[in-house]
Amino acid sequence: MKFSFNWIREFTDVPQSASARDLERLITMKTAECEGIEPVGGLLAAACIATVASVEEMPGGHHRKAVVETERYGLKTVVCGAPNCRAGMTTVYVPLGTKSIGGVESDGMLASGAELGINRDAAGIVELAAGETLDRCSPDGVIEIDNKSITHRPDLWGHYGMAREVAAILGSELRDPIGMDLLPAGNAAIDVSIADFSLCARYSALVFENVTVKPSPLWLQYRLEAIGLNPINNIVDFTNFIMAELGQPTHAFDRGLISGATIFVRPARTGESIRALNGEDYDLAETNLVIADASGPVAIAGVIGGEAAAISGRTTSIILESANFQAASVRKTSAQLKLRTDASMRFEKGQDPENTTRALARAVALLEELSPGIRLVGGVADGRKPAAEPPVIQLPLDWLARKLGRSLAVADVRQILERLQFGVSESSPGVLAVTVPSWRATKDIAVKDDLVEEVGRMIGYSSIDPQPPALLASPPKPDPKRLFHRELRALLTGIGFTEVYNYSFVSLEEIGRFGFTAAEHVAVLNPVASGQELLRTSLLPGIRRNVVENTRYFDSFRLFEIGREIHRQPAGLPDEPAHLVAVVHARDDGAPGLFELKHAAETILPGAAIRPVAARSFEHPARAAEVLWRGETVGRLFEFGPSMEIDGRTAVLDLDLRKVGRRMGGESKYTPPGKYPSSEFDLSVLAGLREHVGDLRAKVAGFAGSLAESVEYVRQYSGPPFSEGVKSVTFRLRVGSPERTLASEEVGAVRTAIIEGMKGLGYELRV
């Protein structure tokens, strides 16, 4: 977005010593980010009007020797190559020094509009109309502002709005160029019909006759060219001038090309199309808002006018529209048609409905100068929905000070807001009632937090001492459950396990493999992907998926996951107990993996016992057990069965961490090292091949009595010389007393008691 420094100065007093660069810095610090300064019209500083007295052809080329009478420098001889240079014409002379061209001393030059920066015409020198001057053409600095930094400020998309900001920053007076009394009273010469006020909040129009279409005066061309708009003719140019000045797009239709006496603002109808001013044809959809006459669309609302009612040299009467369209509607239409214009960029920011008639009043004043003899026909056509009451925001000053980080006096805050043209009154002690002006109430200022920014930027953020917010933090109470889970992760990763994370979603196929039913699960109303329709009631389906995937790359591995199962409840929210599932996979007979997980369970749960149980459908028929700890079953130890279709053997430990957590804690009793030596001996019991070692150990420990300190499994063996179906299980017993050293006879008595007791149960011992 480009802003002319000279244009801004017409609306407010900027210090004479201030340059465009100074204003750029001020706007950057207080309002919006500026990207640079572009100087324009540099030659105009020394330029003056000149009359060509005589022209003489020069041999050997297209140059001509012209003698000109200048207003400021007297009689000058200039060599000019412009084809339109002729005696009697009024043009512009620029003193650039003397240069010899074709043997003739040329003192300065006669300039084209492009060389002066007035327009883009480089075909010939400037030709001034009778009475036209350069008084309103002077060197300028164009301030370029990043569009993104004012996208929330539709009021800043015009020079008057930016001048209003500058006046507030400098504390200077703001001069309004609008005379609302110029708007004619009486019945309008054209009717307006708005189909949907949510899409068009206001549509205002005036009719002018006795219009003369001709090139714009130099000052108007210069103003538009400086900010990047191409001058076309006086009627089109004045609409662009108003848009650049007030931020309010307007459009002129040729009244003679409009069918009927009514302008319709409506959605496009099926099959309608329009040829736009850019020469392109556009097929319209019902979501596109159009301006139409009795015969069809004549403009795409808020985007571009149509060729059918375009201004031309034959135009003698115009309809000037000034409207307010819904921002989202214009944006969608612009995106759909892949057509973005200066008008659409402003409308999609959210314009002020009160600005439509202001633009018309400005047009009345301009057209009297640009098209002498022009006449108004009738009054203003003005269709609109009822104006909304201006929002009032309560602003507590103590809250403002906390948010801003600096205390301000009531008078200072009030002065800042009033300079920005907010209405301010004190609703209660220390609280200001702030009324938002209409041009700031369009998606800009809505809550008191927005006012903090207004005050902060005006006082300057550099005036606020940078301090971190005083948010006093209190450490949370320790969470034993979280600490326990963290310790589990450290323990398992320390012995070579890798943690995995799975989604809480499972598919019907996965739960069917485990024998679960969909009725047991909570269904997801909007699954994020196929195969994630249910919330898991077990971590096992996800772990199996991990195992299958990893068997493609590794022969052995260890994985674990800590996560929540989600169980449907008869009423209320689901129950979500935390579980630990650890697996050991290898291409062997599977026994080492089971023993490793048994050891892991005993490490996590000291004193835990493993008891064989009937296998579930997905467990190995002969390798399933439950984990008992402190009187409760807290998990299972098993091997995945053949139905899991896993390449290799996978041992699984599944612990219910909620049950484990309920039984944790309590005091640990310290047992000091024994003062007296212990004695050890081994016993081997012959038992059936399928008899559980744990049962044998319990029987041996029962016969050992109170002197037995420990009974440890050592090994087992089957094969010759034992008969088929028999195994030898060896235990190591340690016996001792905390009060004395046991005599060999006492140790022997314990050994004999075990042997006799086991024989009494029908076991044979190898001693």
The angle subtended at Cα 514 by Cα 512 and Cα 520, nearest 5°, is 65
Residue 477 is encoded by which pair of tokens?
């109470």
Same domain, 28 and 52: no
Q: What is the DSSP string of 434-451?
A: EEPPGGGTTTT--SHHHH
Same domain, 112 and 162: no
The DSSP symbol for 353 reads T
> If we measure between CA atoms, which residue out of 602, 753, 593, 751 comes closest to residue 682?
751
Count of domains observed in the chain: 6
Residue 675: per-residue pLDDT: 87
Same domain, 34 and 47: no
Q: What is the DSSP string of 10-30?
A: TTB---TT--HHHHHHHHHHH
- Residue 53, in any domain of the structure: yes
- Residue 133, in any domain of the structure: no
- Whether the CB-CB separation of 323 and 203 falls below 8 Å is answered with yes
- How many beta carbons lie within 10 A of that of residue 482, not counting itself? 10
> If we measure between CA atoms, which residue out of 566, 507, 510 comes closest to residue 538?
566
Per the structure, the complete domain to which residue 16 belongs is given by 2-41+142-170
CATH code of the domain containing 248 = 3.50.40.10
Bridge partners of 558?
Answer: 584
What digits encode the pLDDT tens for the residues 554-586? 999 999 999 999 999 999 999 999 999 999 999
- Whether the CB-CB separation of 481 and 542 falls below 8 Å is answered with no
Same domain, 516 and 582: yes
Residue 475: per-residue pLDDT: 86
What digits encode the pLDDT tens for the residues 729-760? 999 999 999 889 989 999 999 999 999 999 99
Residues (pLDDT < 50) of the chain are: none
- Residue 163, in any domain of the structure: yes
Cα separation, 747 vs 168, in Å, equals: 103
CATH code of the domain containing 590 = 3.30.930.10
The angle subtended at Cα 761 by Cα 756 and Cα 765, nearest 5°, is 55
CATH code of the domain containing 422 = 3.30.56.10
- Residue 129, in any domain of the structure: no
Same domain, 77 and 19: no
- Residue 593, in any domain of the structure: yes
Residue 443: per-residue pLDDT: 81
Give CA separation, 232 vs 169, 365, 585, in Å: 36, 20, 80
Residue 408: per-residue pLDDT: 93
Same domain, 406 and 283: no
CATH code of the domain containing 703 = 3.30.70.380
Residue 666: per-residue pLDDT: 58
Please tell me the pTM assigned to this model: 0.66
